[in-house]
Amino acid sequence: MPKGQPEVVPNDGLTTRQRRNRPILAVHTGPMKGKSTAAFGMALRAWNQGWSIGVFQFVKSAKWRVGEEAAFRALGESGQGGPVEWHKMGEGWSWSRKQGSEEDHAENAREGWAEIKRRLADERHDFYVLDEFTYPLHWGWLDVDDVVTTLRERPGRQHVVITGRNAPAALLDAADLVAEMTKVKHPMDAGQKGQRGIEW
């Protein structure tokens, strides 16, 4: 990771401060599990800035990220830092009156994205985590062009971090930061199953 001076100063008509403060679209992809973990680590810094954080988990089950969710709820209630909202597709989105069908994941994903679009237009949060959001894109449940255009044209200073495998090329093109998590060695290779406190 470079620190300090960037190697290239683009001719984009922006001051250093304007360029520095451009909102980031980050994508964490690759085969290793650190993708979401690193996104929630980033969210700790955003929280400490007093930023409004919105987490949207595009996962089928509410089983995962229980540790992160509990921690961010505690942070949101701590009276320090920024407010935190945490929404899970797996339970039916909490903002929605009609609970989406358990079975219809595609419809649930579309409802989730529609809400995120509204919030981006309203500049509702400063920092969004769209966890496992690449899957509804990869599976064709959401229109990639719509997602990319919406993200590119989002108003104000809203940072967005998207996690998941198989991120579409158009999303990677639009991203300012793409990190790939690569497995070098994992306990599962030695026959060890995931364990509480480590994997969830």
Interaction between residue 170 and its own copies (CB under 8 A): no
> Alpha-carbon distance 66 to 114, whole Å?
25
Residue 58 near residue 133 (C-beta atoms within 8 A)? yes
Q: 76-95: which residues touch its own copies (CB under 8 A)?
A: 77-78, 80-81
Rounded to 5°, the CA angle 144-44-50 comes to 95
In whole angstroms, the minimum distance from the beta carbon of 15 to its own copies comes to: 11
The torsion angles phi and psi of 104, rounded to 5 degrees, stand at -90, 75
How many residues contact its own copies, by CB under 8 A?
Answer: 79
In the complex with its own copies, the residue whose CB is nearer, 170 or 179, is: 179
In the complex with its own copies, the residue whose CB is nearer, 25 or 142, is: 25
Choices 102-110, 112-120, 133-141, 170-178; region in contact with its own copies by CB under 8 A = 170-178
b (16+ CB within 10 A) / e for 69-105: bebbeebbeeeebbebbbbbbbebbeeeeeebeeeeb
In whole angstroms, the minimum distance from the beta carbon of 90 to its own copies comes to: 15
Interaction between residue 159 and its own copies (CB under 8 A): yes
Q: 175-194: which residues touch its own copies (CB under 8 A)?
A: 175-194
